[in-house]
Structure 1
Amino acid sequence: MQPIQGATARPPGEPSSPLSAAGELPLSTQQRTVLERLITRIVAQSLQQSAEVWAGLKHDLGLKGETPLLSRHFPAAEQNLNQRLSLAQTTHATRQVIQQLSDLLPQGNNRQAVSDYIRQQFGQTALGQLTPEQLKSVLTLLQNNQLAIPQPQQRPATDRPLLPAEHNSLNKQVARLAATTGESGKLIWQSMLELSGVKSGELIPAKHFTLLTTWLQARQTLSHQSAPTLHTIQAALKQPLEAGEWKEITDYSQQRFQAAPQTLLTTAQVLDILNQVFLKRAERLPVKHEVLNPQPIFNPIWAPFIEPLKAVSARPAMALTALIVVMIVLWIAI
């Protein structure tokens, strides 16, 4: 029989050491108080409940739900909760920055100014793709009126807006996603506007309808996944990634999250990757050129006679008759 992992094998009948026996005792009052205070701070900074944090802690420590924490688990438990607290504080601070930005964006041309700035500075088109530090820098510039107000841009005439039926289809999908995830439908629409590169109040180009449908359906599918990876995202896409797209997304995930295809991803990371898929595919959309029917700037005085002359010239006998009639008319006039 193999010894229990982490324990030192001892001869049968020999009593356990005092240190080993102490480690098998339940958490002391002081230890439990330390952990409970950390969990209270995590709950205050996040949307989780206390029971969820306890369950997540036991899962990370490899303990079953009914297994009590022992004194020997305390160091690892404290470290785990400190990491969770740090992440919760960062996430909470980021949410506050995004909320402040959301309050400022509708004012004047702020939305277009921010969109142009993050595209030029960070190569992104959606606020959700920025790091916390980048978000703070954008907020500071916006609060200090240091972002240039862009000049109005003309949208190509070929980018027709969504038809009412297409808009209704997206609206139903947004409602289903909001009901599943608890996210505000307004925020989902805002993300779609930012991905499509349009300002609030503008209509989304119809060329993005298929991409947005894929984006919404993938989010809906992945919201039910407890352990999403890049492979899970690939399976959730109605139009799977091609070989070139897969390489781009895996490279992006490795550089941004140090995540391999089999690495478990957070909800925020999944959304970031889906946004990247949308943006990269949107860049490859073919440019439609409007078919023009050029008209002359002015019509010459003989324009009404051109078509009849063409018809007459196609029939020699008729042409000869017409020529004789013209000569007679000219002779009489003279």
Structure 2
Amino acid sequence: MMQPIQGAPGRPPGQEPLQTGSVPGELPLSSVQRTVLERLVIRLIALTQQQSAEVWAGVKHDLGLKNDAPLLSRHFPAAEQNLNQRVETATQNHTTRQIISQLTELLGQGNNRQAVSDFIRQQFGQTALSQLTPQQLKTVLTMLQNNQIVIPQPQQRPATERPLLPAEHNSLNQAVTKLAAATGESGKLIWQSMLELSGVKTGELIPAKHFAPLMTWLQARQTLSTHPAPTLHTVQTALKQPLDPIEMRTMTEYAQQNWQATPQTVLTTAQVQDILNQVFLRRTERSPEALEIRNIQPIYSPFVAPIIETVKSISTRPGLFFIALLVVAFLFWLVS
């Protein structure tokens, strides 16, 4: 009886020893035929991790033979072709698995995943690696290894453009609540003012870069809300980040041009808020003209305002003008 080649699986199950005098075509596999088939089986086992008996059973099944039937010499051409096809398929699958393994490792680096996704969509009309042929997978791997696929830049927004974090929003909300309690103003209106200052519409998110300026704005408003006679100098000391010399000069000129107020002039609540608004706009590099100025009161007391308006109206009537002046002088004397 002939021995199998070194390292090869045993002869096919059911294979009988060579019988002399058998009918041509019904002879068992020759040693050369058996060696060819056994080498193919060894390659297939290495590629698929199948067992020898499992491979031989598969071949016999494909040839229409029972598992316990012997392979004869007439079966050799079909068996060889079957094993060659199996080896070719297994080789392709093995190569594909290796390519996918290498691609998977590379996809985790930088923006490779997005780059490959864009590439296969543009080149092959596919959206997943599993939909590509082995040759297409090899092309993608080779191009990625050779830096031939354009890597997109990160699409993350700059840190200054991100919206407020939940913790930052909560901090602002607590400051709004304290200001509302101190001034009696509606928290909703305070938030609306903050949205207008930040240049966002209702429903939009405030940029995170405005968090610190808004906290300064809220804290300064709360501090100044209890001050009996706030001036520009008072505003300066109430700010967590005081006005620098350029800002102080700018605010002084602003108060002078709009209300003829000096740094020592007592400001109304509306004027204090306007100054704080202007500081916020300049520190966030927003145009002061972007904020609509509302309800800015003149620097004189509301009690005196009706008198001034009355004087203006009667100044065109000489008969009453002198009497009006006397009345105004008397009222000022009472106030002082």
Question: Normalising TM by the smaller chain, what interval?
Answer: 0.3 to 0.5
Alignment TM-score, normalising by the size of structure 2 = 0.40
Alignment TM-score, normalising by the size of structure 1 = 0.40
Structure with the larger RCO, 1 or 2 (CA within 8 Å, 6+ apart): 1
